[in-house]
Structure 1
Amino acid sequence: MTDNTTHTRPDLPFEQRLQYLADRVEIQDLMVRYALGQDLHQAGDNGVLEQWDTVFAPEATVDYSAAGGPPLKDIHYRALVDVMRGSDGSMSGLLKWQHFQGVSAVDMDGDTAVARTQHLHTHKGGTDGQGWNLIETGFFVDRLVRRPEGWRIVHRTLEIIWMDSFPTV
């Protein structure tokens, strides 16, 4: 991230600082809609694109290789739905989940931005009659562009800080 964000420039006109705040709120809403796309669609409901199509630009790619190796590097965001939600997808053994997104640190340069957003993702699963929980922490690093329909992610990189699982009682 750079250090040339509008919020660190009190010498800019009030209107520019106000626009920065409006843009930040819109970008933060994108981050929440991404998580809502995951969390509102559980128990076999794979309709995450209802939200994700309002988060990502049509040409957007994601790099989730931190979670699953080279096949997840720079794939189209719609392909990620199959990787996660398909019959053998990474979420196929999960019973419930919730994705918490932190407040984004955002650097803007006109109609482009870079956002780094903390996340805490919780998952409840079961294998052979044994319950377990999985927690993942990390960041999403997003490149965004302002479009006529609003801010959209054009590329997302997943960074995992740590992940752990533990049995349920």
Structure 2
Amino acid sequence: MTLESDVRYLLDRFAIQDVIAKYGLGQDLHQGDNEDQNMLAQWAEVFAPDAVIDASDVGLSAEIGLAEFVDFMRGKDRKRDQGLGRLFGLWQHREGHATVTVDGDTATAISPFFHTHETRDGTANVIHTGLWHDRLERRAQGWRIVHRRLEDGFFNTFQRIANPHDLVERNPADR
């Protein structure tokens, strides 16, 4: 490899990592009670318009388009009580650092994810982990995911504790 090819790889890798991170922002900037549920505001910088998503590991089809995926997440009318918003009121999405292989104007990436959700009724928290397997292409607008496959890790539900600070052992001198 040359210095020029090394620098090109690093720039591509940073750009791809940003694309993967923006997926989580597309979710998190549109929390359950926000009026704005249009994740496509960020996801236009993540997915190619013709992207295919395989979410069969969690019960969806292996070949759905971006609009259908957003419908699943936020409902066809993008209302806060539709799609998964009817179940969850708050969430946080962390997309891990990807391993990236670049081959000219195409790339593959595998990245871990850690997603947390609070149920709308506030009684439980849900953690979902897994891996994203992405195929990307360099388009005129930059790197975009053209195919994404979700590999399910696990879902766990935890009872919500009213005051988690009560769990922390206090210094006996403070009692």
Structure 1 and Structure 2 fold alike (TM over 0.5): yes
- Percentage of pairs with the same residue: 44
Deviations 1:121-145 (A, max 9, x none): 0000045xx6100001111110000
Question: Which residue of the partner structure matches residue 103 of structure 1?
Answer: 97
The runs of 4+ residues in structure 1 deviating greater than 4 Å are none
Contact 1:134-1:166 at 8 Å conserved across structures: yes
Selected match of 1:154 from 146, 159, 167: 146
State how many pairs are aligned.
154
Answer yes or no: is 1:31 the counterpart of 2:23. Answer: no
Question: Which residue of the partner structure matches residue 71 of structure 2?
Answer: 82
Selected match of 1:14 from 3, 13, 35: 3
Contact 1:38-1:48 at 8 Å conserved across structures: yes
In 2, Cα distance between equivalents of 1:84 and 1:62:
13
Answer yes or no: is 1:120 the counterpart of 2:114. Answer: yes
In 1, Cα distance between equivalents of 2:58 and 2:83:
12
Contact 1:84-1:92 at 8 Å conserved across structures: no
In 1, Cα distance between equivalents of 2:134 and 2:107:
8
Q: CA deviation at 1:166?
A: 1.3
Can you give the 5+ residue segments of structure 2 that lack an aligned partner in the other structure?
76-80, 162-175
Question: Which residue of the partner structure matches residue 58 of structure 2?
Answer: 67
Can you give the 5+ residue segments of structure 1 that lack an aligned partner in the other structure?
1-11
Amino acid at match of 1:152: R
Amino acid at match of 2:111: T
Q: CA deviation at 1:91?
A: 3.6
Q: CA deviation at 1:90?
A: 3.0
- Report the TM-score when normalising by structure 2: 0.84
In 1, Cα distance between equivalents of 2:90 and 2:84:
13
Contact 2:86-2:120 at 8 Å conserved across structures: no
- Structure with the greater alpha carbon radius of gyration: 2
The aligned runs of 1:41-60 (5 Å cut-off) are: 41-42=30-31, 43-44=33-34, 45-60=36-51
Q: CA deviation at 1:46?
A: 1.3
Amino acid at match of 1:33: K
Q: State the secondary structure of the residue aligned to 1:90.
A: helix
In 2, Cα distance between equivalents of 1:168 and 1:100:
20
What value does the CA root-mean-square deviation take over the aligned residues? 1.3
